[in-house]
Amino acid sequence: MAILEGKKAIIIGDRDGIPGPAIAECVQTAGAEVVFSSTECFV
Amino acid sequence: MPGQDAIPFDMKKRKVVNKTMNSVIKGASYVLAHTPQMVVYNGTTQTTERIVNPESEYLKELESHLRSYEECVNYWPNQVYIGNATPDDLAGVEFPYYDKAKEGAERYGKYGEIMPEEEFILLVQACDQFEVVKIDKDFVSAHKDAFAADPIITDDIVARVEAGVELAEIEAAVKDEHAEGIYVAGKLVACVKRAHDIDVNLSAHVMHENLMSKASSVLALLYGVKNAGISKDDIEYVIDCAEEACGDMNQRGGGNFAKAAAEIAGLNNATGSDSRGFCAGPSHALIEAAALVKSGAYKCVAVTAGGCTAKLGMNGKDHVKKGLPILEDCLAGFCVILSENDGENPEINLDILGRHTVGTGSAPQNVIGSLVADPLERAGLKITDIDKFSPEMQNPDITKPAGAGDVPMANYKMIAALAVKRGELDRKELASFSANHGLTGWAPTQGHIPSGVPYIGFAREDILAGKIKNAMIIGKGSLFLGRMTNLFDGVSFVIQANTKAEAEGTSGVSEEEVKGLIAKAMKDFAASLIAE
Amino acid sequence: MDLENQKRVKDFADEYGAENLVVVLGAAEGEAAGLAAETVTAGDPTFAGPLTGVQLGLTVYHVCEPEMKEEFDEAVYDEQVSMMEMVLDVDDIVSEMSSIRDEFCKYL
């Protein structure tokens, strides 16, 4: 069973890893609805 | 018609002669102020914890993890920051760094100094123009001589230090008037009072934050002028690129830190303005400054930034949890002085500028592509044509235990991966790319401070010494933290060896020479006519 | 995890139901990914945010994990994320994430 299809996705990206908007682009292609996307910064 | 072609006057060459020269890096400064008590009282990690979890283990343990001034001075990355050791030296030190003292470490370095908290508090008061900073008079008399003994601190700055007030006055201001306390070794010694009863933009908290930024910027400017070997009067413009905002309720970020700091530093011929762009601020400011000088608008521009109290102890929870000292215990500042081309110093080449645009997106490969590969390609260069890259030079001793990894290393891996993808680097050379084209991070996590600029001082020297021929400075900024846009940001530029002699040598034909050549050609032409 | 983000996660769990949510992370290191995953499953381990003591048990993955990649459009993943696989320690991230999921996820 798909993990993302039909689900609401919350994205917590990382400035020095993968930023939120880049993850959101991917997650949308798997049929999830992005309800929140944020990017954290430790520096 | 014979003779006409003989006129040796090449318009293309003439154009090169007239082309304005790039600006040069006259000098750079890097300063630290050791402020462990501001970690406790002003760092947002700690102030937040005090609100949400006042009884937490972290707050109880925090004080025992603060470093002494000597420990802070002996810390390898700090010695590199002020220029007493090189990034190469640091690369030879076994990781982690916090448990290794640098032998022969000193307060003063060739780029600046590590100022003790006591003296820095006096400098802050000297930078205050509105009588909001009040210091205990006993504290002033105990430390004023040491402050005055600092060779960079001028007599007029020492003269600005007031005699101080009774401690009771400070206690009352903190207790009854929302003043922000300033502590040393857990004891209240001074305060910053609010500058307005209602306006939150002039609250004691904001005034404190801004005065600390201003004071560290003043210190950086003083060293900047000294290191560049110029007179204070030479500086015509100052750009402040820190991350604070000063203004009142009618103009929250009105400014102007640049001119305010220039005034205390005694730069009488300068005006200036603030330029902001989160951590990318310094790189934006340096490009702007280089353009101002190259255009001829100003002959000499200082780019400066002070430190950020809010970020003190930012990753402290992770450091304490892992038994490390609080490593984010210093306010940092830097200054870079750009001037007209002197035929000697390394230049900022404005023909190779990288920029993350609105359309670039946030995918890491696009970000690094826009900042590194694209500008080089436009200039007909490959990634491997750049000797050293200075992206975000955060000290991994601070970021690794906090789960943010080794930020410079991650940047080098990305640049190398991109070079492989573009066929400019062999896959086998992936691992050695960081060692050959990279640097080990040493800068404190003060936001804008680590972003590309910490290497400029070393880059200038390494280029002058012929160790490297060029370096790329890369600044990146997390604009989304301001909640105005979801965009990322960044700009980059290349520093290269001075090309003035080369430009003049290959195409530099003086007016005298041109006149002489034309005269000779006319004579030859006339002679050929007579002969006919 | 940032306190504001914790608040938003908690609100979304109330609004949509924890079983309907998937959290996707982009952390740079295994340990940071693990801490974020723990926060949205077993509660905030740093005892600072709104998720302290709140066991949401949300389904949580790192964007570089094979289960996620399998569901993404390959071209989009390649364009947006793939290069970071050369930068991050994906094996470490996968091992941290799976151990948290095995222990605390309620909806797998």
In chain A, DSSP finds a helix count (H) and a strand count (E) of 1, 2
Which three-class secondary structure string do you get for B73-129? HHEHHHHHHCCCCCHHHHHCCCCCCCCCECCCCCCECCCCEEECHHHHHHHHHHCCC
CB-based contact, C107 to chain A, within 8 Å: no
- Which of B23-32, B509-518, C19-28 shows the lowest per-residue confidence on average (mean pLDDT)? B509-518
**Whole-number mean pLDDT of chain B?**
94
CB spacing of B481 vs A41 below 8 angstroms: yes
Say which residue, B7 or C107, is predicted with more confidence.
Answer: C107
CB spacing of C5 vs A12 below 8 angstroms: yes
pLDDT reading at B504 higher than 50? yes
CB spacing of C87 vs B52 below 8 angstroms: no
Q: What is the pLDDT of residues B121-143, one digit of tens each?
A: 999 999 999 999 999 999 999 99
**Structure tokens that stand for B366 in this block:** 């696009």
Cis peptide before B408 (omega within 30 of 0): no
Averaged over B112-119, what is the pLDDT? Answer: 98
pLDDT at residue A42, as a whole number: 80
* Shortest Cα distance, chain C CAs vs residue A1, angstroms: 10
ipTM given for this complex: 0.96
pLDDT at residue B521, as a whole number: 83
CB spacing of C28 vs B410 below 8 angstroms: yes
Contacts of B364 in chain A (CB under 8 A): 18-19, 22
CB spacing of C84 vs B53 below 8 angstroms: no
pLDDT at residue B163, as a whole number: 97
pLDDT at residue B391, as a whole number: 97
pLDDT at residue B522, as a whole number: 84
Chain C window 38-97: which residues touch B at a Cβ cutoff of 8 Å? 46-49, 79-84, 86-88
What is the Cα–Cα distance from C101 to B243, expressed in whole angstroms? 39
What is the Cα–Cα distance from B471 to B383, expressed in whole angstroms? 11
Averaged over B275-283, what is the pLDDT? Answer: 97
Cis peptide before B256 (omega within 30 of 0): yes
CB spacing of C8 vs A27 below 8 angstroms: no
Total domain count, chain C: 1
**Helix axes C30-39 and C90-104, enclosed angle (nearest 10):** 20
Picking from B314, B356, B414, B480 by the largest number of A CB atoms within 10 A of its own CB, the best residue to mutate is: B480
pLDDT band at B8 (very low <50, low <70, confident <90, very high): very low
pLDDT band at B517 (very low <50, low <70, confident <90, very high): confident
Averaged over C97-106, what is the pLDDT? Answer: 96
Say which residue, B430 or B227, is predicted with more confidence.
Answer: B227
Averaged over B280-308, what is the pLDDT? Answer: 98
CB-based contact, C48 to chain A, within 8 Å: no
Cα of first residue to Cα of last residue in chain C, in angstroms, is: 23
Cα angle, residue A14 at apex, residues A10 and A20 outer, rounded to 5°: 45
CB-based contact, C5 to chain B, within 8 Å: no
Averaged over B293-301, what is the pLDDT? Answer: 98
DSSP classification of residue B453: G
Q: What is the pLDDT of residues B41-100, one digit of tens each?
A: 999 999 999 999 999 999 999 999 999 999 999 999 999 999 999 999 999 999 999 999
CB spacing of A10 vs C29 below 8 angstroms: no
* Shortest Cα distance, chain C CAs vs residue A26, angstroms: 6
pLDDT reading at B492 higher than 90? yes
Is the alpha carbon torsion for B128, B129, B134, B136 positive or negative? positive
Chain A window 7-36: which residues touch C at a Cβ cutoff of 8 Å? 7-14, 16-20, 22-23, 25-27, 29-32, 35-36
Contacts of B362 in chain A (CB under 8 A): 19-22, 39
pLDDT band at B309 (very low <50, low <70, confident <90, very high): very high
Residue C25 sits in which domain range?
3-104
**Whole-number mean pLDDT of chain C?**
95
- Report the chain B residue with the minimal C-alpha distance to residue C27: B404
Among the partner residues C21, C22, C26, nearest to A13 by beta-carbon distance: C26
pLDDT at residue B532, as a whole number: 64
CB spacing of C24 vs A22 below 8 angstroms: no
Kind of pairing, strands B114-115 and B180-184?
Answer: unpaired
Averaged over B467-495, what is the pLDDT? Answer: 96
Q: Which chains touch C (3 or more CB pairs under 8 A)?
A: A, B
Check if the beta carbon of residue B341 is closer than 8 Å to that of residue B289: no
Q: What is the pLDDT of residues B161-195, one digit of tens each?
A: 999 999 999 999 999 999 999 999 999 999 999 99
Sheet holding B133-135, edge to edge: B133-135, B187-192, B180-184
* Shortest Cα distance, chain A CAs vs residue B404, angstroms: 6
Averaged over B250-255, what is the pLDDT? Answer: 95
* Shortest Cα distance, chain B CAs vs residue C27, angstroms: 8
pLDDT reading at B19 higher than 70? no
pLDDT at residue B487, as a whole number: 92
pLDDT at residue B349, as a whole number: 98
What is the Cα–Cα distance from B356 to B60, expressed in whole angstroms? 43
Among the partner residues C32, C49, C84, nearest to B364 by beta-carbon distance: C84
Chain B window 271-300: which residues touch C at a Cβ cutoff of 8 Å? none
Q: What is the pLDDT of residues C55-81, one digit of tens each?
A: 999 999 999 999 999 999 999 999 999
CB atoms within 10 A of CB B62: 23
B254: nearest Cα among B196, B317, B210: B210
Those residues whose C-beta lies under 8 Å from the C-beta of residue B149, and which sit 6 or more positions away, are none
Q: Which chains touch A (3 or more CB pairs under 8 A)?
A: B, C
pLDDT band at C47 (very low <50, low <70, confident <90, very high): confident
CB-based contact, B361 to chain A, within 8 Å: yes
pLDDT band at B337 (very low <50, low <70, confident <90, very high): very high
pLDDT at residue B507, as a whole number: 55
CB atoms within 10 A of CB C55: 13
CB-based contact, C63 to chain A, within 8 Å: yes
Among the partner residues C16, C26, C77, nearest to A12 by beta-carbon distance: C26
User: What region does B96 belong to: left with phi over 0, alpha with psi -120 to 50, or beta?
Assistant: beta
Distances (CA, A) of B63 to B50, B67, B123, C40: 14, 9, 25, 30
pLDDT at residue A43, as a whole number: 80
